[in-house]
Every structure is written in C-alpha cells, then in structure tokens.
A and B are shown apart, each in its own frame.
Chain A
Amino acid sequence: MKTFFYSLINYQEISTAVTKAGLSPQEKKKILKLIDEIILTRMIDGVLEKLPTKHHETFLEQYLKNPDDKKLMEFLKKEIDQIESHLKKVSEKTKQEIFEDIRQSLN
C-alpha cells in the first residue's frame, strides 16, 4: 500500500540522505516522520491549489478514507491538466529544501 503520490517522489534519495547523518534508528524514525508530514502537506496543498474548489471535499474525503486509492490519481488526472508534472515539481522543491536542512544540520 502506498500513497497515491508515492511514485512521484524519490523516497530512497531522502532516506539515504538521512541515513548518512548517522542517527540511531529511533532518531531516524522521528526525522523521517517529520519529513513524511512535510511532504504530505505540500502534496495535498499542491493538489488543492490546482483542483477546482467544488472537488476539494470529495478529494479530502476520499484521501482520508483511503490514501492509497488508485482512483484518486485517476480522478486528479481527469480534473487537472498536467497534475503529475505539477506534483513532481512540488515534491522536487520540497526535497531540495529538506536536503538543505540536512546539509545545514550536518555542518
């Protein structure tokens, strides 16, 4: 089971960057949880800023019920032109910010 936007983000890259910080498993878990929530907030925001307001409720409701529902992406593709490309940009920007946070913390 994966979130509907899982394929748009290179999680492995982020995980590797955090691993390089040499944290304990518990510390790493806390860090990854924060990163997960940052990414999720940005992705939901990315969807809502493009999705017509009349569909916000449907999207949020379906997401809360089943975050990995394959139909969610199908629905978004139907309603928003180039949604995957938009979300990839959002995730890339978020990832770079997170990398910057990691870099600053290690210096």
Chain B
Amino acid sequence: MTNSFSKFDKLHENLKKRHYKTKKEFEKKQLGAVRWLAKRNLSLSDVYQSTAKLLTTGTLAGTMLLSGSVTPPGSLPSRLAQERGLRVRLASMDFHRQLVEELKSLMPDDIGKIKGGQENKICQILEKFFGFGVCANYDGNELNYAYGWMGYEQHLYRYPGDNLEQHDEERTAGIAPGLAAWGFWADNKDSFNQKKYLEEKYYVAVQTLYLPEWPSDYERLYEWYKYRKVVVVNPENGTAVVAIVGDAGPASWTGKQFGGSPELMKALDLHENYQKGKVLLLFVKDPEDKIPLGPIEGLPGPQLAKA
C-alpha cells in the first residue's frame, strides 16, 4: 500500500507538471482562443468540463466511471450547478449573437436619433430579447442621441470620504476629481446601500445640458433624468447593460455623446484599446423599479420564450 501510494504521488506530480506546461503552452500559442474564452467568462477548465460531461467511453476517466469502479467526482448537485453555469454562459453567447444578427440590418449608418420606423423595430427587438419595454422617447423626453459614441469614464465619489480603494472593480479607471451631476449618492457611508452601490457601478453620463429644452425647463429635466434607468446595447457584440443616468456629459468637443462607468464599459467589452464604441442608449420602461441593474446575461425574457 505504501509502495502504491508513493508511485501515485510521483506519477501524479509528473503529470501535474506536464498538465501545467501543456496548458501554459496552449495559452501562449493560442492567445486568440484564450481571449475568446475569457470574453465569455470561460477558460480551458470549462473546455475540460464540457468534455467530461461525456461520462461514457469518450474519455479515459469516463471509461472508469462507466465500469462503476469509482463514483463521479463531486456531489451531484455541485456538478449540476457547474453544468448549468456553463449552459447559461453558452446560452449567453447565442443570445448575444442572435441579437447582433437581428439588429444588423436596422442599425443606422450615422450617430444621432433613430428614425421613427427604424426606432420602433429596434425597440421591439430589444423588448423581445430583454423582456421589458425600451424607448428613445419616454414621457416626452428624448436625448439628442439614441445611437452614439460612448467613452470610458472614471469611478464617482459615492459618499463623503469615499475613495478609489473602496471601489471593488476596475480601479485602474481612477476616480473623477469632481462630484457627479447629482452629487453624492449617500450622505455618509452608513446610509450607502446595495441599490446605490449598483447605481454607481452601472452609471452612464448623458448630455442633458445640450438638450434644446434644457435652458427653459432645466429644473424639471434635472429631476427627470436623475438616476433615470436606461439600457445600453453594444450592437457590435450584442452585449447589453441596464444602467442609470448618474452623471452629465461628456463635453461635445470630445466627439462622444455618452459616458459609461468602468464596469459598464467592461461588460460591453469597450474597456480596452480606444475605450469607446458606438452604442444604443434607450430608456427602460420600469415605473415600478423592478428591472435589476447590470449586464443582461442572455437569459431570455418572457417575450423571447413566447417568440
């Protein structure tokens, strides 16, 4: 028994080294594939897992499982949960791809407002995919752009005493020196809650000050746009994020029409290289505040299930 144990240790160690080396070589050589997986929150381990699901004679370990000599690894619920996680991510890939396909022929050539018929069609598609209503004109309010360039913004101060270290993601973005258009989210750290945390995490900046009605109606508009729920869609890759209007800007000279929080831009895959991209930005019809903020991971809404 002692002999068998030491043999195992040695073999296990040798193979682990080879496994590690093989994986590293793959990651170095197939960088494109690794990036493709990473963008979908997948890794080589998911590829292994996907293969291991063939719990039959398709693999060496599968042969043993079939022979009944060992029990399957991990508890059944945890394996099911892992498989479900993978399925969700794969379903998400299909979801994004389908959305790109459906939007492709409808996307305008230029940034700006979207023409009536086209806007309706786009909104109908998005409603089908997301399961909630979206529109460019809501309660008579409309931005100058529904399709425009969005740039990568910095984190915002959420309460007095807040700093970059207290933000849990994308710290390389830094923190804006001034306060957001609507000031702090909370008066102090104690009153800062999960809802406010998500609002800063998934915020957009829109050019309220360039609205034609702003000079005459700014008091009403200031309140109407404050934390207004929107959805941002990257039509190039089909990713989408539900966010709130958390700041005003960017300035027109930047050539951009919207700003996006670091986490939002990352979810849209616009956080690298030029850190900007053309997006659709539409209002979310959510009078009861039930639509959660954050990336839409591709689980079809009820409308899609019916479609």
A83 within 8 A of B: no
Nearest residue (CB) in A for B64 is A29
A24 within 8 A of B: yes
Report which of A25, A48, A65, A97 forms a contact with B33, defined as CB distance below 8 A: A48
A residues in contact with B63, CB < 8 Å: 11, 15, 32
Most A CB within 10 A of own CB, among B33, B69, B90: B33
Nearest residue (CB) in A for B25 is A45
Contact with A along B1-39 (1 / 0, CB 8 A): 000100110111011101100110110011011001100
* Contact residues, B44-73 vs A (CB, 8 A): 44, 46-48, 50-54, 56-64, 69-70, 73
Chain A contact patch, size range: 35 or more
Nearest residue (CB) in A for B5 is A27
Contact (A30, B90) CB under 8 Å given A1-B54, A36-B51, A56-B32: no
Q: Report yes or no: B42 in contact with A101, Cβ–Cβ below 8 A.
A: no
Report which of B4, B26, B54, B90 forms a contact with A27, defined as CB distance below 8 A: B4
A residues in contact with B44, CB < 8 Å: 41
Contact (A26, B51) CB under 8 Å given A2-B56, A36-B61, A41-B23: no
B107 within 8 A of A: no
Nearest residue (CB) in B for A22 is B4
Q: Report yes or no: B19 in contact with A37, Cβ–Cβ below 8 A.
A: yes
Report which of A31, A40, A101 forms a contact with B48, defined as CB distance below 8 A: A40
Alpha-carbon gap, A49 to B33, bound state (A): 11
Report which of A49, A65, A98 forms a contact with B15, defined as CB distance below 8 A: A98
B residues in contact with A22, CB < 8 Å: 4, 7
Nearest residue (CB) in A for B97 is A61
B interface majority secondary structure: helix
A residues in contact with B22, CB < 8 Å: 38, 41-42
B residues in contact with A38, CB < 8 Å: 15, 18-19, 22
Q: Report yes or no: A105 in contact with B90, Cβ–Cβ below 8 A.
A: no
Alpha-carbon gap, A5 to B181, bound state (A): 58
Number of A-B contacts defined by CB within 8 Å? 144
Alpha-carbon gap, A86 to B3, bound state (A): 39
B residues in contact with A2, CB < 8 Å: 54, 56-58
Most A CB within 10 A of own CB, among B36, B46, B51: B51
Q: Report yes or no: B56 in contact with A1, Cβ–Cβ below 8 A.
A: yes
B93 within 8 A of A: yes
Q: Report yes or no: B18 in contact with A101, Cβ–Cβ below 8 A.
A: yes
Alpha-carbon gap, A44 to B36, bound state (A): 14
Alpha-carbon gap, A12 to B280, bound state (A): 55
A residues in contact with B51, CB < 8 Å: 3, 36, 40, 67
Shortest C-beta distance, B41 to chain A (Å), equals 12
A77 within 8 A of B: no
B residues in contact with A18, CB < 8 Å: 60
Q: Report yes or no: B15 in contact with A6, Cβ–Cβ below 8 A.
A: no
> 12 A-B Cβ contacts within 8 A?
A2-B54, A21-B11, A25-B64, A34-B12, A34-B16, A34-B19, A37-B19, A40-B48, A56-B32, A63-B47, A67-B50, A105-B14
Contacts A36-B48, A40-B51, A105-B14 known; 8 new A-B pairs at CB < 8 A:
A3-B51, A21-B8, A29-B73, A36-B52, A40-B48, A41-B19, A45-B29, A64-B42
Q: Which chain B residues have a beta carbon within 8 Å of chain A's beta carbons? A: 4, 7-8, 10-12, 14-16, 18-19, 22-23, 25-26, 29-30, 32-33, 36-37, 42, 44, 46-48, 50-54, 56-64, 69-70, 73, 86, 90, 93
3 closest A-B pairs (Cβ-Cβ)? A105-B11, A2-B58, A32-B60
